[in-house]
């Protein structure tokens, strides 16, 4: 005898997914609807974009990229979307196959695509930059280097191509880790900056929003899988060879969530509510000054931005 359980939401189809944080058993259709409606709720709650905004999606090609593209296509016109993908150039790690799949879907929908490499933007691949930083004895993790340059490239293209928003595919796991790391570092300004209602500190910044920030990583992966997205989840080699604080927090949070399902969602919701009390005050912060070398915004106490400083230290000074 085969006993099946009905989906807790529709009560009709057979449940195949246990959504541990809600305690619900769901069928595939209701699970997909649940993700879509949570993305829409988050977009509305924080006024992430308006219906006529031009949105640039920063996609790496993985499962989160797919889920972001697919959920946004359900709530925004394809003609107002663009996609940017960045090739960092990391030895032994290529997401080209994943990217090709997503790009072909974008092309079918008539979405503009920009592909940029680190090599084009700064003259070197990330692999080369990391090796140069080792020779120069600079204590900076590859992930810090990569993140800084990637954000810079994306912002510049978004600005020059006239996009209103940049959308990134950070999920709930990513965002709760970021919030926790900012707390560990006692960095209130970064905590406010990563809040969806945080201030835009320069006219040269295109606002970045993260519609998947309340969707668990496993949910994003399952959503992509159920929708037929074929991905090979290769991990960037730098996360394991050179563990950062993030890698440690990520590992800890995974174990915590397994023990107490829903803990990360409650944590991020709590941080959102808490930090929102500081937003009004943070809007009074004056605009950021500009870096004397690259002309991009830099911190209030700096004349040369952190990115330029690092690039100079490793012996590079070229923004294409």
Sheet holding 55-58, edge to edge: 112-117, 81-87, 55-58, 165-168, 207-209
Task: Select from 43, 4, 13, 58 the least CA-distant residue to 31.
Answer: 13
From candidates 25, 129, 143, 305, binder to Zn ion by CB under 5 A: 305
From candidates 16, 73, 293, 316, binder to Zn ion by CB under 5 A: 293
Q: Which residue has the tokens 């709530």?
A: 75
**Binding characters for Zn ion, 19-38, by CB under 5 A (x = yes):** --------x--x--------
When asked if residue 156 is in the footprint of Zn ion (CB under 5 A), the reply is no
Comparing CB distances to Zn ion, the nearer of 25 and 249 is 25
When asked if residue 299 is in the footprint of Zn ion (CB under 5 A), the reply is no
When asked if residue 7 is in the footprint of Zn ion (CB under 5 A), the reply is yes
What's the angle, vertex CA 79, arms to CA 77 and CA 85, rounded to 5?
Answer: 105
Comparing CB distances to Zn ion, the nearer of 91 and 303 is 303
When asked if residue 291 is in the footprint of Zn ion (CB under 5 A), the reply is yes
When asked if residue 73 is in the footprint of Zn ion (CB under 5 A), the reply is no
**Least distance to Zn ion from the beta carbon of 11, Å?**
7
Comparing CB distances to Zn ion, the nearer of 236 and 293 is 293
When asked if residue 308 is in the footprint of Zn ion (CB under 5 A), the reply is yes
When asked if residue 16 is in the footprint of Zn ion (CB under 5 A), the reply is no
- 314: Cβ–Cβ under 8 A, 6 or more apart, which residues? 129, 132, 133, 136, 138
Please report how many Cα atoms fall inside a 13 Å half-sphere around the Cα of residue 317, on the Cβ side: 10
When asked if residue 129 is in the footprint of Zn ion (CB under 5 A), the reply is no
For strand 24-26 and strand 112-117, is the pairing parallel, antiparallel, or unpaired? unpaired
**Exposure of 223 by Cβ count < 10 A (0-12 exposed, 13-18 middle, 19+ buried)?**
buried
Comparing CB distances to Zn ion, the nearer of 7 and 181 is 7
Please give the DSSP secondary-structure letter assigned to residue 297: B
Note the residues at the interface with Zn ion (CB under 5 A): 7, 9-10, 13, 27, 30, 291, 293-294, 305, 308
């Amino acid at each position: 005898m085969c006993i099946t359980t009905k989906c807790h939401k529709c009560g009709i189809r057979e449940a195949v997914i246990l959504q541990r944080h809600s305690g619900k058993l769901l069928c595939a259709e209701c699970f997909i609807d649940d993700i879509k409606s949570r993305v829409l709720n988050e977009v509305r709650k924080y006024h992430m974009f308006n219906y006529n905004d031009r949105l640039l999606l920063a996609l790496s090609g993985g499962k989160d990229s797919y889920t972001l593209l697919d959920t946004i296509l359900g709530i925004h016109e394809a003609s107002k979307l663009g996609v940017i993908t960045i090739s960092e150039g990391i030895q032994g790690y290529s997401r080209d196959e994943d990217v090709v799949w997503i790009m072909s879907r974008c092309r079918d929908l008539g979405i503009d695509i920009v592909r940029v490499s680190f090599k084009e933007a700064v003259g070197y691949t990330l692999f080369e930059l990391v090796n140069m930083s080792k020779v120069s004895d600079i204590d900076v993790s590859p992930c810090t280097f990569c993140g800084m340059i990637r954000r810079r490239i994306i912002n510049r293209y978004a600005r020059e191509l006239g996009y209103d928003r940049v959308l990134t595919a950070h999920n709930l796991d990513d965002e709760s880790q970021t919030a926790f790391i900012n707390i560990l570092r006692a960095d209130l300004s970064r905590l406010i900056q990563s809040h969806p209602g945080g201030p835009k500190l320069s006219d040269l910044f295109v606002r970045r929003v993260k519609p998947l920030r309340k969707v668990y990583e496993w949910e994003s992966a399952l959503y992509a899988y159920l929708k037929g997205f074929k991905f090979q989840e290769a991990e960037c080699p730098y996360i394991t060879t050179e563990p950062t604080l993030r890698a440690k927090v990520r590992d800890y949070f995974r174990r915590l969530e397994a023990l107490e399902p829903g803990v990360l969602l409650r944590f991020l919701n709590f941080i959102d509510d808490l930090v929102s009390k500081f937003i009004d005050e943070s809007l009074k912060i004056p605009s950021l000054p500009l870096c004397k070398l690259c002309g991009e915004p830099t911190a209030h106490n700096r004349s040369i931005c952190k990115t330029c400083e690092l690039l100079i230290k490793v012996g590079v000074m070229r923004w294409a």
